[in-house]
Amino acid sequence: RFVDAPAFTPEVLVAFLNSCYDHAEFLMTSYRTGSNWGLMEAEGMAFIALTFPEFQQAETWKNEAFRRLNNEINLQVYPDGHQRELAMGYHLGCIDWFLRSYELAKMNGLTHAFSPAYLDRIEKMCEVPMKLGHPDGTNAQFGDAWAGTPGQHSDRFRAWATLFGREDFRYLATAGKEGAPPAETAFSLPESGLYSMRSGWDKDAICLVLKCGPDGGGHSQPDNGTFELYAGGRNLMPDAGSYIYSGDPEGRAWFRQTQVHQSLTLNGKNSAYAPTLHLWKPGKNQDVLVVENASYENLSHRRAVFFVDKRYFVIVDEAFGSGAGEVDLHFQLTPGEALFDHKNLSVTSAFQEGWNVHVRSQPQPGLKLEQEEGWVSFVYTKKEARPAFRYRIQKTAETAGIRLITLVAPFEEKIPEIEINIPGNPPVASPRLVIQVTENGKRKKLAYRL
C-alpha cells in the first residue's frame, strides 16, 4: 500500500523490518499458554513469519506459531465449543485469533500444518453464539460480557456460512431471509455449563439461557444457576453484566456478587464454582434441565427448570445441607417500573406496550418477598437502576432442606393463571420429583427422575 511512498525511505523500511524481527524473536521467548494473550502472540508471530519469509528465522517462527495454535485450541476450548473464560466477547475474539491464522496459512498453501480437528473445533466455537444468543442476536451478559446490539454477529455468521457451508448460519446472518433455521430449539454445552431453551427462531421467540459451570477465571463471576430471559423482542431479566474492568474496584466487586444474579445465596455470601449436570431432557412441548452447585461448604443448591408448552417456566430451587441462616433466592428485571404484590409473593414488570414477565413464588411459612438494590450495565462504565428482589426464608442447621417453587411467565397481554403444587411434598433433593400445574382448569404433570 505504501512501500513506494516518498516518505517510506530505505531507513524507515529497515527500522520497520528490524522491529518485526525483534518482535518475533521476543515472542519465541514468551508463550503464555492458556491465555487469550498467548493466541494474539501466536497470531502475530505467524503473520510476521509468513509476510516476511526472507527472514532466516521465518520457518522457525512459523512452525512455533502453528504449534502453539494447534495446542491452544484443545487447551482453551471445551469439546462443546466454548472458550474456557466463559465470556462471550473473549470467546468471539478467540475465534478470530484461531481462524485468521488458519486463513493466512490457507493463502500460503499451509493448511496441512493444522490438524483436521482444528477447523472442526473452530466450527463448534462458531455455533456458540447461535446456541446461546437471544432472538435479536444480543448476548447473555455472563461474566465480563455485554449484551451488544441486535444483529451484531450478522457479518460473522455470513462469513461462517460460506466457510462451513452452514445454512443455519446463513439464516442468522440474514434475519431469516435466506438459509434455514437451526433444527433444534434447545442446546446444552455440558462442559461449559451453559444451556438454552427457546420457543422458536422468530424475533419474538421466548428464550432462556442458564449458566451453571466451572470457574472461567478472571472474566467469570460466581453466579452458578443464574439465567437471562428474553421474550417478545425484550430482554426481560438480563444479567447484571460487568460494568467495569479496572479503575473502580468497588464498582466491579458489586457487579460480581452472587446476590445480584438470578441465583441462591446463604447469608448473602458469594457461592463457589462446583457444578453438576443432573438432567438435560429437551422435548417437543417441554424442556427439562436439572443442575446443582455445591455453593457453600455446608449447603448445595439444586435448580430444576421446566419450560412448559414453550410458553412459561416453573423453577424449583432446593437448598440442602447443614448450612444455617438466611437463604435468599434473588431475581432481577430489566429497567422499568414493576408491580410488587407482597401478599401474593409476586413481582410483575409494568411496560405499557409489548411483553412483560410475572414472577411468583409458592407461599410457605416464613417466606418473605423483599426488594433489593438493583443495577444493570449494558455499556462499559455505565449502569442503570432496575427492579430487584429476593425471596427470603430462614434455615436452621437441623432443617434438612428448603424448597422454593417459582413461576416465571413471560406474557404479552394477560398474566396467565397458573397454579402449582407438589403432591405428597417429597423430601428435598429427592431423585424424583413430580409437580402438578393447573392452567384454566386443565392439569399437567411435570416430572423428572435423576
Amino acid type, 369: L
243 labelled catalytic: no
Measured CA angle at 23 (ends 72, 57), to 5 deg: 80
Q: CA-CA distance, 340 to 39, in Å (whole number)?
A: 49
Cell 445480584 appears where? Answer: 260
Q: In one letter, which amino acid is 170?
A: R
3-class secondary-structure state, position 433:
strand
**Which 8-state DSSP code applies to residue 58?**
H
User: Hunting for cell 525483534 — which residue is that?
Assistant: 22
Which one-letter DSSP state was computed for residue 242?
A: -
Cα gap 181→446, rounded to integer Å: 29
How many Å apart are CA 41 and CA 60, to the nearest integer?
A: 15
Alpha carbon 81 to its chain's center:
13
Grid coordinates representing 312 are 412459561
Catalytic residue among 90, 118, 171, 391: 90
The dihedral of CA 354, 130, 211, 377: what is its sign? negative
278, with CB counted inside 10 A (0-12, 13-18, 19+), is: middle
CA torsion sign for 162, 163, 164, 170 is negative
Judged on CB neighbours under 10 Å (0-12, 13-18, 19+), 280 is middle
> Any idea which residues carry the catalytic annotation?
90
